[in-house]
Amino acid sequence: MKLQVSKITPEPAVWHVHTRLDRLPRLTETAGPQTATLDTDLNVRLRGDSIVVQGRLTLTLTLPCTRCLDEVPVEVDTPFEDILVPARQNTGSGELQLSQADLNVSFFEGDFIDLTELAEEQILLALEDQVHCREDCRGLCPRCGKNLNREECGCAAESSGHPFAGMQDLLKT
Ligand SMILES: [Zn+2]
Ligand SMILES: [Zn+2]
């Protein structure tokens, strides 16, 4: 979905964004292939030379648990506010960014703005670093790689206590 800059007015207009998440390359790279669809209405208006985009992103992603790698549904529900400033105003002095430090300010060039790309950026910002399938996920055995939520592997019983004991011996030599 591309916004045509010359058609944006100070009166808010609603733009509908509808895209399959697997069409978003950066999200797919970060979060793996997704099956859900992004479906949202964004309010777009002109304020001075800048374009204000506001809305809310609500979607469900599938992310791997950082401990056991099982896939976990993760709800994303985040407000979306972007101020798009013409790139010619980016003088490099930093004043503009500082005065609007609490807002998402980005620059645009030309007559078209890709709303899907903006939404992708917001989803990436909202992604949690630590996804766990459950609070007490036991993760994978560092030795044999078995999922310890599902089975005991016996490696812990064999080891001399410290999980990296063997590695420390290696480092000494
Ligand atoms: Zn897990
Ligand atoms: Zn094991």
Q: What count of other Cβ atoms lies within 10 Å of the Cβ of residue 127?
A: 15
φ, ψ for residue 49, nearest 5 deg: -90, -10
d(CA 121, CA 84): 13
Short-list 15, 26, 21, CA closest to 52? 15
- CA 66 to centroid of ligand 2, rounded, Å: 18
- CA 97 to centroid of ligand 1, rounded, Å: 40
d(CA 62, CA 156): 31
Which pLDDT score, from 0 to 100, does residue 156 have? 73
Q: Pick the ligand that lies closest to the CA of residue 157.
A: 2
Which pLDDT score, from 0 to 100, does residue 125 have? 87
- CA 123 to centroid of ligand 1, rounded, Å: 22
Q: Pick the ligand that lies closest to the CA of residue 67.
A: 1
Which pLDDT score, from 0 to 100, does residue 41 have? 93
- CA 160 to centroid of ligand 2, rounded, Å: 14
Domain boundaries, position 107? 2-126
0.85 exceeded by pTM: no
Short-list 114, 106, 111, 104, CA closest to 89? 106
φ, ψ for residue 82, nearest 5 deg: -130, 135
Q: Do 120 and 46 reside in the same domain of the chain?
A: yes
Q: Do 150 and 75 reside in the same domain of the chain?
A: no
Q: What count of other Cβ atoms lies within 10 Å of the Cβ of residue 63?
A: 17
- CA 162 to centroid of ligand 2, rounded, Å: 14
Q: Pick the ligand that lies closest to the CA of residue 139.
A: 1
Q: Do 48 and 78 reside in the same domain of the chain?
A: yes
Q: Do 23 and 85 reside in the same domain of the chain?
A: yes
Residues of the chain with pLDDT under 70: 89-103, 157-173
Q: Could you tell me if residue 108 is inside a domain?
A: yes
Q: Pick the ligand that lies closest to the CA of residue 138.
A: 1
